[in-house]
Structure 1
Amino acid sequence: MTHDVVIIGSGFGSLTAAALLARQGLRVCVLEQAKYPGGSSTSYKRKGYWFETGATTLVGLDADMPLRYLLDQIKVKLPVQKLEPPMQVHLPDGQTLTRYGDFDAWIREAERVFGPDNQRPFWEHCYRISKQVWRTSLQQQSFPFSNVKDLLLSWLRARPAQLKLIPGAFRTMEEVLGKYGLLQNKLFVDFVNEQLLITAQNSMEEVSELFGATALCYTLYSNYYVPGGLINLVKPVVTYITNAGSTIQYGQEVQYVKPQQQGYEVITQKETFRCTYIISGVPLNNTANIFQDARVQQRLQKYIMPSEKLNGAFSMGLVLKRKEPLPVVLHHQVHVPEGLPFIGSKSIFISFSHPADASRAPAGEFVASISTHVSHPELHQLADKEQLEEAILTALMQKGIIHRDQIISVQSATPGAWIFWTKRAFGAVGGYPQYKQIKPWQMKDARLDHKGAYVCGDTVYPGQGIVGVCLSGIIAANKLLQDHF
């Protein structure tokens, strides 16, 4: 059978593109190598418990944000619970910082912890930029440019407020902190760097003002918990796709893509699929390996990042006994200034299942997902995990976030396990880090061969996080439709 579009991978960027194309009446076939949809934005079941695969926080349902746009387009509603406050950060000096969603409450908290000097103007500046970045991203779905039509459409959609963002592509967050006299505030600098590492995969010296301001402000937007885990973010979109007459096939690991005179052949370990158009939703490193077109591979080389520029993750899943008091705040970041053994990571992120959510664990129990960054993941496969596990648990217990007598079971995964589960090159997760020499218009455009092949996911513009990956799928679908319909 020949499909209109084959999409490789069922990450949230792929599902976004599939839903928007199916809405236009195209016959889409999504090929997923695993047994669950969603990629790093989903959940998996182990021994009766549901753990998050990668992402644990849900942002993007506010006006002018990509996830809101997608759900409005396909008329899907999500079963979500709003979190307030979204998160707490446990700082090296022993203070606990609450990241309130209400702007004024957050400013009062930031001034309490970091001092009153320039906190309000700094955060007002970042929040203003972040709102304009999200608004512009949806207005400029032909960006980055890679043909004349892109330029024309972007010019027609240009607004004065968009042009004001351009200087922010040339400033780093380090320069922004310097502008507000905050570089001498070491506690604040450390906080900013660890927050940027979660959201932009790099530090203030490398992350531009555009990406950095947006990354720092994610807790100032509505944050949600999805009962049952993020698999229940994915399922309604999958249902929409299949109800629209398209398909998702599991256990279909793509080996090669062969361009044909008309369309493409997609070869998995089981069978061959034929299509007129194709979208790769897997990382650019993987895309280059499977796409049998010398020109595509050559074009991709300047975008592909080696392991030393990427981040992997060491992740843990805990099953815990319910113990009073139950966690009020579900997401915590713990700073570890001395660094963790073997990997040197200086922060840990832990997310709890909601105490009222009985679908992820039996009565009297709940689960937690833990992650920390692993730089240069190809070098850190970490065969001996016990010492690192113990260091992470000790740091969490010292902050009173968990207690030893609560722990029922522990499982952990290294970058090597990420390669096994997800097939992602090097076991890298979280998308491509932001680097100051790469401006937004220099990031990978959605087109692969300027014929019928496209790409989306967390390694292309803009990538990173559910909301960014959703935007990458919107852009890929828009450019396919713009080029051919």
Structure 2
Amino acid sequence: MSKNIYIIGSGFSALSASCYLAKEGYKVTVLEKNDTLGGRARQFKKDGFTFDLGPSWYWMPDVFERFFADFGKKASDYYVLDKLNPGYEVYFGENSSLKISENLEEIYQMFENEEAGSAKHLKSFISSAKSNYDTAIKDLVYKPGVSPLELVTTKTVTRVSQFFSTISKQVRKNIKSKKLIKILEFPVLFLGAKPSDTPAFYNFMNYADFGLGTWHPRGGMYKVVEGMVALATSLGVEFKVNANVDKIVTNSNNEVAGLVVNGEKIDTDLVLSGADYHHTETLLNEDEKQYSEKYWSKKTFAPSSLLFYVGFDKKVENVSHHTLFFDTDFELHAKEIYDNPKWPSDPLFYANFTSITDKTSAPEGKEAGFFLIPLAPGIEDTEALREEYFHKILDRFEILTNQEVKKHVLFKRSFCVKDFKQEYNSYKGNAYGMANTLLQTAFLRPKIKSSKVKNLYFTGQLTVPGPGVPPALISGKIATELIIKNQ
């Protein structure tokens, strides 16, 4: 058995894999190119404000618990979770918003109040979603994506039609309210594709939303990173920051022989990359790459994002911890991401104010604001465009929430396509990886095990099971199991 493993990157999938591999007796070293651990889930602090730079939603708490339980631990051993109520709020126009309760019965009632008869349809929809969740999260997503037969089980054969219908069709079959449709279609955006391109089977995301609720780790999502690093360290994992991998070295037998890190050669028996899959293959010789530039260019990628981290000198009103602004054309914005890539003419956007729930994220009487606009990956990114869109969304924010905030901005920091490329070597500056469309699901995603280079493996959002924090934890486990199987 190979004992010496280097992991490239320190995002959630890499941290997960480091723990599982160390538990199995491997000597594991994690190499992080940036000066702090966590990959896209790093933290930004300024003047008493604290921001999560990347993931901000804590969904599927059972997946986190399953991860820690594999090591005889609980999430509560490392951080404190608060269940949000409301889970989130959605604005549809001026003085028009709906809050998603932590209580499923209250959600049914809200639907009924908005559209008579819709509660009955929602109950049926959530029942299907829960069944799919149990099938997917407890079984399917833990498969390595090696064979199409992984998808064939006694439970999935009865759901074949759901892989060939879409979330959009399923939702719109019985629900007519545009507001309720947007709420039901929203969760699949975490999978990185349009609802009209996402298989109906993925309605399990709606159960993750309504059934399991939205949570917040006190101190921010970075507390999860810190917890995983603490666990990994206790298992013997070594971490090195400011460690940029320049090259994956192979021998004459097409086996991994080492890495070039900051210009110096390091010997290793095996490499697992939690870095961007496309970028990792650029570290190989041309004939060692599995996937061509043409292959990548034809894939449907999840959006990039324009992000703003804003310190306000006052408390912000009429918003919730997570607040979505769906007051513009959902379909048009989606087309401007996926079909006709360009800067959106009238973007939807998301904002979160962790300091509403978590007093540690802003000084007393002040507010920490995080704003996100989904964008097409690979588009032009300039400071002028960032500034234009900052004012565009804050102008709308002020009108929709009936308050002045622009004059209360103490500072702001932006992060966009160029930063995703520079900080994370992200293909086209995407933020979430490869979308989970029908033709990019399970065995149809890039493989965990390289078919060209022995002892080279991949984990993370461009391989199985796909984008999102819970899938990243799962991806680390799947990669470890495949490594052990092949040694």
Give the TM-score range, shorter chain: 0.7 to 0.9
Distance in 2 (CA, whole Å) between partners of 1:185 and 1:217 is 20
**What's the secondary structure of 1:160's corresponding residue?**
coil
Pair 1:390–1:93, CA change in 2 (3 A):
closer
* Conservation of the 8 A alpha-carbon contact between 2:10 and 2:31: yes
- Cα distance, 1:10 vs. partner? 0.5
Pair 1:305–1:37, CA change in 2 (3 A):
farther
**What's the secondary structure of 1:397's corresponding residue?**
helix
Deviations 1:268-292 (A, max 9, x none): 2243222212111122221221233
* Conservation of the 8 A alpha-carbon contact between 2:144 and 2:479: no
**What's the secondary structure of 1:437's corresponding residue?**
helix
Q: Which residue of 2 aligns with 1:471?
A: 474
* Conservation of the 8 A alpha-carbon contact between 1:97 and 1:113: no
Q: Which residue of 2 aligns with 1:320?
A: 312
Comparing 303-312 with 260-269, which one deviates more in the overlay? Answer: 303-312
Deviations 1:281-326 (A, max 9, x none): 122221221233624x134668634687442100001112343868
Q: Which residue of 1 aligns with 2:281?
A: 288
- Cα distance, 1:263 vs. partner? 3.7
Deviations 1:160-201 (A, max 9, x none): 3344344422222233235x333x54444444444433x122
Q: Which residue of 2 aligns with 1:436?
A: 438
* Conservation of the 8 A alpha-carbon contact between 1:333 and 1:350: yes
Q: Which residue of 2 aligns with 1:205?
A: 196
**What's the secondary structure of 1:380's corresponding residue?**
coil
Distance in 1 (CA, whole Å) between partners of 2:94 and 2:187 is 16
- Cα distance, 1:417 vs. partner? 2.2
- Cα distance, 1:235 vs. partner? 0.8
Deviations 1:117-149 (A, max 9, x none): 4333223322332232111236xx343125xxx
* Conservation of the 8 A alpha-carbon contact between 1:345 and 1:373: no
**What's the secondary structure of 2:461's corresponding residue?**
coil
Pair 1:231–1:192, CA change in 2 (3 A):
same
- Cα distance, 1:8 vs. partner? 0.8
Q: Which residue of 2 aligns with 1:410?
A: 412
* Conservation of the 8 A alpha-carbon contact between 2:198 and 2:436: yes
Distance in 2 (CA, whole Å) between partners of 1:164 and 1:42 is 42
Comparing 201-210 with 98-107, which one deviates more in the overlay? Answer: 98-107
Q: Which residue of 2 aligns with 1:458?
A: 461
Alignment of 1:13-162 (within 5 A): 13-62=13-62, 65=63, 67-74=64-71, 75-76=73-74, 77=77, 78-92=79-93, 95-117=96-118, 118-137=121-140, 141-146=142-147, 160-162=154-156
Comparing 267-276 with 312-321, which one deviates more in the overlay? Answer: 267-276
- Cα distance, 1:413 vs. partner? 2.0
Q: Which residue of 1 aligns with 2:422?
A: 420
Percent identity, aligned pairs only, is 16
Q: Which residue of 2 aligns with 1:482?
A: 485
* Conservation of the 8 A alpha-carbon contact between 1:101 and 1:219: no
* Conservation of the 8 A alpha-carbon contact between 1:3 and 1:274: no
Please state if 1:265 is matched with 2:258: yes
Please state if 1:277 is matched with 2:270: yes
Q: Which residue of 1 aligns with 2:226?
A: 235
The TM-score with structure 1 as length reference comes to 0.86
Query: Match for 1:434: what amino acid?
Result: N
Distance in 2 (CA, whole Å) between partners of 1:434 and 1:419 is 21
Distance in 2 (CA, whole Å) between partners of 1:185 and 1:278 is 50
**What's the secondary structure of 1:463's corresponding residue?**
coil
Distance in 2 (CA, whole Å) between partners of 1:427 and 1:279 is 22
Distance in 2 (CA, whole Å) between partners of 1:323 and 1:434 is 38
* Conservation of the 8 A alpha-carbon contact between 2:270 and 2:456: yes
Count of residues paired in the alignment = 464
Pair 1:45–1:188, CA change in 2 (3 A):
same
Pair 1:190–1:57, CA change in 2 (3 A):
closer
* Conservation of the 8 A alpha-carbon contact between 1:36 and 1:44: no
Deviations 1:10-30 (A, max 9, x none): 010110011111111211111
Distance in 2 (CA, whole Å) between partners of 1:268 and 1:11 is 18
Pair 1:113–1:94, CA change in 2 (3 A):
farther
Distance in 2 (CA, whole Å) between partners of 1:268 and 1:238 is 21
Pair 1:165–1:467, CA change in 2 (3 A):
farther
**Alignment match of 2:169 (pick from 175, 186, 189):** 175
Query: Match for 2:205: what amino acid?
Result: A
* Conservation of the 8 A alpha-carbon contact between 1:227 and 1:354: no
Query: Match for 1:257: what amino acid?
Result: I
Q: Which residue of 2 aligns with 1:382?
A: 382
- Cα distance, 1:433 vs. partner? 1.6
Pair 1:25–1:161, CA change in 2 (3 A):
same
Distance in 2 (CA, whole Å) between partners of 1:434 and 1:380 is 25
- Cα distance, 1:233 vs. partner? 0.7
Distance in 1 (CA, whole Å) between partners of 2:483 and 2:383 is 43
**What's the secondary structure of 1:40's corresponding residue?**
helix
Comparing 279-288 with 42-51, which one deviates more in the overlay? Answer: 42-51
Pair 1:171–1:323, CA change in 2 (3 A):
same
Please state if 1:250 is matched with 2:253: no
Q: Which residue of 1 aligns with 2:303?
A: 311
**What's the secondary structure of 2:30's corresponding residue?**
strand
- Cα distance, 1:7 vs. partner? 0.8
The TM-score with structure 2 as length reference comes to 0.86
Q: Which residue of 1 aligns with 2:338?
A: none
**What's the secondary structure of 1:164's corresponding residue?**
helix
Comparing 461-470 with 101-110, which one deviates more in the overlay? Answer: 101-110
Distance in 2 (CA, whole Å) between partners of 1:195 and 1:380 is 27
Pair 1:94–1:322, CA change in 2 (3 A):
closer
* Conservation of the 8 A alpha-carbon contact between 1:99 and 1:219: no
Query: Match for 2:364: what amino acid?
Result: A
Pair 1:128–1:90, CA change in 2 (3 A):
farther
**Alignment match of 2:208 (pick from 218, 221, 225):** 218
Distance in 2 (CA, whole Å) between partners of 1:87 and 1:401 is 18
Distance in 1 (CA, whole Å) between partners of 2:292 and 2:486 is 20
* Conservation of the 8 A alpha-carbon contact between 2:191 and 2:435: yes
**Unmatched segments (≥5 aa) in structure 2:** 334-341
Distance in 1 (CA, whole Å) between partners of 2:295 and 2:81 is 36
- Cα distance, 1:428 vs. partner? 0.8
**What's the secondary structure of 2:260's corresponding residue?**
strand
Q: Which residue of 1 aligns with 2:336?
A: none
Distance in 2 (CA, whole Å) between partners of 1:53 and 1:204 is 26
Distance in 2 (CA, whole Å) between partners of 1:226 and 1:283 is 26
Return the structure number with greater helix share.
Answer: 2
